[in-house]
Amino acid sequence: MSTEELAREQDYVTTLYRKLDAERAEAQRRLDETLQLTGGTPQARTERDVATTLYTDRLAQLGSVEQGLCFGRLDFVPGHAEETTYIGRLGLFDSDDDYKPLLVDWRAPVARPFYLATAASPEGVRRRRHIRSLSRKVTGLDDEILDLTAADQGQDLGLAGEAALLAALEQRRTGEMGDIVATIQAEQDRIIRAPLGGVMVVQGGPGTGKTAVALHRAAYLLYTHRQQLTTRGVLVVGPNSTFLRYIGQVLPSLGETGVLLATIGQLYPGLDATGVESREAAEIKGRIVLADVLANAVRDRQRVPEPVLEIEYERELLRLDRRTCVDARTRARRSRRPHNLARRLFVSDVLDALTRQAARRLGEDLLDARDVQDIRAELAADANIAAALESLWPVLTPEGVLDDLFADSERLDSAAGKLLSDAERSCLKSGRDARWTPADVPLLDELAELLGVDDTEARVERKRREREDRAYAEGVLDILEQDEEIIDEELLRVSDVLDAELFAERQQARSELTAAQRAAQDRTWTFGHVIVDEAQELSAMDWRLLMRRSPNRSMTLVGDVAQTGAAGGARTWGEVLSPYVADRWRLEQLTVNYRTPAEIMAVAARVLAEVDPALEAPSSVRESGVAPWSVTPADVAAELPGLVTAELSAVDGGTVAVLTPAARLDEVRALLDGAGDRVSVLTVERAKGLEFDAVLLLAPDEIVADSPRGLNDLYVALTRATRRLGVISTGSTVPALSALG
């Protein structure tokens, strides 16, 4: 690349940074101005709140694009509507020149050819240029000329911007995932920009960019359907907290808010379920039949007297017989309301019956309707009667019911006797953690549905407040419209684009929390879009919970059925989804592995063939030049630290993972204590979705033997490395690894 060309691009990029600085200064100035205003009417305070959030969001967005602000350029063929377009992390416009775009946001439709154009289908693009930079300095340019004669590079795998891609892939791993906006590939772009509605499954082998694609899709959807999605939010579900930390930085650096990142264990408000239990117990809890077990458990709590319950009331005995209670129970159950709401009906019928009894004793003929009503009210307020009603139809909480069910053999036998075997029931009872486990969360959620909350009073109050908010918002908008003193165009723009309802909703959100934060606190929140990563791991009960959060079935599910480790996880996507959407879901596939070098992938492919010969491993995009190796040390404890040190120096500042069978985790952690934060010691389950420059795999035979899906686990373990793989054998050889030197 000529130095003049580099200098020309540097000039342009410098102009863009100048523009970025100016935008930042302007947003800061406006924010400062707004913050200096004090006092005033409630309306004035509202206006200030709106403006404060607007400028604060803008500043955060402008702050997050500093690195690699502009990374691409398209030059179109003569006669095309555009001549040249620069692509970057956000859009910048020239306010002095009719808002001509200086930089196009990567998510905008005009940016698409940057990811999709090929020599065979150039979409009007003559040249695609990747601009590499470090801080604000342009360090390199990679050009592709998209005419047919130049159709050579990356032809086999259809790669776009191969040089830039390979440079990105060669980078050392830091323990946090980075964005891929500069080098998104065509098959990935099609998924990222797929329409919002419906259920899309993205099936792809390890390292094909499923996680990256899922997160960029969240950013794209929020950009394209901003209004719809910032109010409802986007839920991104990942397998565990280590994984969420790994991906946590990708979205803010794309300048997005309104996204809730959570594990299934965090989807029941007020809990972060981190308890541990056996694979078997988790598998049983994940079965769909648990929905029936729980329904039975709730029904079992709706009791009738055998044969009569006597209640002392004002020194006399009222008798509540079985028949009355059975009738009341039948009517309450037939209402199909959740337990705590149906309770009102049961209580009302029983009180009617008791009132009749009490009235009879006092002499029915002497009482008018008013007297009878008074008697009923007195009965309702009586402590003994309240206790009797509570014993027959108690107010229940999900936590209480689940705890009682697992702690009490009789209850469990009654609810699950016909649905789970003796061995399965005792597995649920034994070895319970004092804390809730992730597999408990969908059960609690199910119970919350079955039980409901009798919030009649709270609802009336909420409705009243909503009416007030709305009336207030209408008032604010009227004043904004009329007040000629308000010349700040940003504020006026706010009133232009909001109607009263939205404004009221926004006000509520602002005075309290963001959509994501509100969603985290509200079990009944439904999201605008739900994205699930490592979706193959979810159990049938997990899916039930997620489908409740996504009644519009706007979902992106990414995963790999060849990597399923959970005993209750997916074997096929159809099996998982058909109860909810029948066959109304579409499948997209990713086929290129960007993480694992070909040398390592060859080993992994042998394992995959053992899992299922019909499954195909993705093709690696590059070779590392380092062959995977294997050793069988005489004394693992003595030699492991040395092997780790050697890997650390080989990856030169990069990361090393030691993947171990669960039974050896503590021992290995102790051995490597003090190895520094570039070394992670993990089980395969915890390493799922993560990647490291070098991986040392300890005792593969034990990993295989540990679970019915042990070979899948081995496949996952082998595909975590971006550069180097070493296998440390301790026992019998695993056939698929026997060829390792």
Binding-site ranges for ligand ATP (CB under 6 A): 165, 168-169, 180, 183-185, 188, 204, 206-212, 560, 563, 594-595, 689, 691, 719
Distance CA 199, CA 586 (A): 7
Distance CA 596, CA 725 (A): 10
Neighbours of 670 (CB within 10 A): 10
Tell me whether residue 112 or residue 595 sits nearer to ligand ATP (CB atom). Answer: 595
Q: 261: closest CA among 532, 548, 496?
A: 532
Tell me whether residue 116 or residue 212 sits nearer to ligand ATP (CB atom). Answer: 212
In 524-677, which residue ranges form alpha helices assigned H by DSSP? 540-549, 573-581, 598-611, 636-650, 665-671
Tell me whether residue 169 or residue 367 sits nearer to ligand ATP (CB atom). Answer: 169
Strands 92-94 and 125-134, how do they pair?
unpaired
Tell me whether residue 284 or residue 530 sits nearer to ligand ATP (CB atom). Answer: 530
In 262-368, which residue ranges form alpha helices assigned H by DSSP? 279-285, 290-300, 322-334, 339-362
In 238-309, which residue ranges form alpha helices assigned H by DSSP? 241-247, 250-253, 279-285, 290-300
Nearest approach, Cβ of residue 168 and ligand ATP (Å): 4
Nearest approach, Cβ of residue 35 and ligand ATP (Å): 39
Tell me whether residue 449 or residue 533 sits nearer to ligand ATP (CB atom). Answer: 533
Tell me whether residue 87 or residue 345 sits nearer to ligand ATP (CB atom). Answer: 87
Distance CA 682, CA 629 (A): 20
207 is in an annotated binding site: yes
Nearest approach, Cβ of residue 592 and ligand ATP (Å): 8
Q: 299: closest CA among 450, 448, 418, 407?
A: 450
Instruction: For 715-733, give one letter per residue: b (16+ CB within 10 A) or e.
Output: bbbbbbbbbbbbbbbeeee
Neighbours of 383 (CB within 10 A): 7
Strands 125-134 and 70-76, how do they pair?
antiparallel
286 is in an annotated binding site: no
Nearest approach, Cβ of residue 559 and ligand ATP (Å): 8
Tell me whether residue 342 or residue 621 sits nearer to ligand ATP (CB atom). Answer: 621
Q: 222: closest CA among 232, 209, 212, 213?
A: 232
Distance CA 350, CA 302 (A): 13
Nearest approach, Cβ of residue 657 and ligand ATP (Å): 13
Neighbours of 56 (CB within 10 A): 14
Radius of gyration, CA atoms only, the chain? 31
Tell me whether residue 110 or residue 168 sits nearer to ligand ATP (CB atom). Answer: 168
Q: How far is CA 43 from CA 256, 389, 476, in A?
A: 29, 50, 6
Tell me whether residue 208 or residue 230 sits nearer to ligand ATP (CB atom). Answer: 208
> Between helices 398-407 and 422-429, what is the axis angle to 10°?
120
Could you identify the residue written with the tokens 């602000």? 69
The amino acid occupying position 438 is: P
- The number of angstroms, rounded, from the C-alpha of 593 to the middle of its chain's C-alpha atoms is 23
Tell me whether residue 264 or residue 416 sits nearer to ligand ATP (CB atom). Answer: 264
Nearest approach, Cβ of residue 64 and ligand ATP (Å): 18
Nearest approach, Cβ of residue 113 and ligand ATP (Å): 16
Nearest approach, Cβ of residue 194 and ligand ATP (Å): 16
Tell me whether residue 34 or residue 564 sits nearer to ligand ATP (CB atom). Answer: 564
Tell me whether residue 515 or residue 687 sits nearer to ligand ATP (CB atom). Answer: 687
Q: Is 661 left (phi over 0), alpha (psi -120 to 50) or beta?
A: beta
Tell me whether residue 141 or residue 311 sits nearer to ligand ATP (CB atom). Answer: 141
- Residues 6 or more apart whose Cβ sits within 8 Å of residue 115: 160, 184, 185, 186, 188, 189
The amino acid occupying position 654 is: G
429 is in an annotated binding site: no
Is 126:77 a contact under the CB 8 Å cutoff?
A: yes
Which residue lies nearest ligand ATP, judged by its C-beta?
209
Distance CA 224, CA 256 (A): 12
Nearest approach, Cβ of residue 47 and ligand ATP (Å): 43
Is 235:548 a contact under the CB 8 Å cutoff?
A: no
Cα dihedral across residues 570, 573, 578, 581: positive or negative:
positive
Distance CA 229, CA 226 (A): 5
Tell me whether residue 248 or residue 275 sits nearer to ligand ATP (CB atom). Answer: 248
Nearest approach, Cβ of residue 63 and ligand ATP (Å): 22
Tell me whether residue 212 or residue 611 sits nearer to ligand ATP (CB atom). Answer: 212
Nearest approach, Cβ of residue 556 and ligand ATP (Å): 13
39 is in an annotated binding site: no
Nearest approach, Cβ of residue 388 and ligand ATP (Å): 56
Distance CA 97, CA 95 (A): 6
Nearest approach, Cβ of residue 62 and ligand ATP (Å): 24
Is 146:127 a contact under the CB 8 Å cutoff?
A: yes
Nearest approach, Cβ of residue 39 and ligand ATP (Å): 50
Distance CA 289, CA 66 (A): 52
Could you identify the residue written with the tokens 């990942």? 238
Distance from the first to the final alpha carbon of the chain:
42
Nearest approach, Cβ of residue 235 and ligand ATP (Å): 18
> Residue positions in the annotated binding site?
204-211
Known binding residues for ATP are 204-211
